[in-house]
Amino acid sequence: MQETELKCIINKDVFENIKNAYTWDKIITQENHYYADTSGVLGSHRATFRIRTSGGISRIQIKLHKNRNSPLQICEELEFPINEIPEHISADKAKEYTGLDVGELIRLGSNTTIRHSLMWNETTEICLDLSTYLDCEDYEIEVEYTGELPAKLLDELKALGAEFKENSVGKYTRFIKRFNEVFFDTKR
């Protein structure tokens, strides 16, 4: 499945403005368990590997990022059911899922996200996320769409404080940055 989304990091005030401006279709909690390979193959292919749990259902999700340095994210996403959250995924299984020789995958930790979502129109969904991980909290808005991105929606969101003009940094990248600060920052 190809996913096209516009996203940006927002502050708590903008999050509250947007949250209060709409009537949300759903509010769910999801947990993303992030995995890494020691070989660096996933990173060289701009791929991420996670297990997402929501509503008692867990799925492996592999995202293959198609573009760089933009608030617009285009990803190919693969998904597989799984019944557990393992600490390690064997090299054979990792290759089966990703199609890449990544070696063994190791679970680094998780991110818990409370997601507010609504279908703004028949082709456009707004997702408003509050994420917590490694003693950190951040806020993000994503607009997932097919076809044309509605200019009226962008105007609405801009009036509420969200501007999609900077490079987008996804949850996995933010998690890894914080992981490195917590576990490898030699200045502490």
pLDDT digits (tens, 9 = 90+) for 138-167: 999 999 999 888 999 999 999 999 988 877
Angstrom CA distances, 41 to 86, 95, 100, 104, 118, stand at: 20, 11, 8, 11, 36
> Mean of the pLDDT values across residues 112-131?
97
Model confidence at 125, in pLDDT bands (50, 70, 90)? very high
d(CA 109, CA 35): 8
Q: What is the mean pLDDT of the chain?
A: 91
Does residue 70 have a pLDDT over 80? no
Confirm if 47 and 63 have CB atoms less than 8 A apart: yes
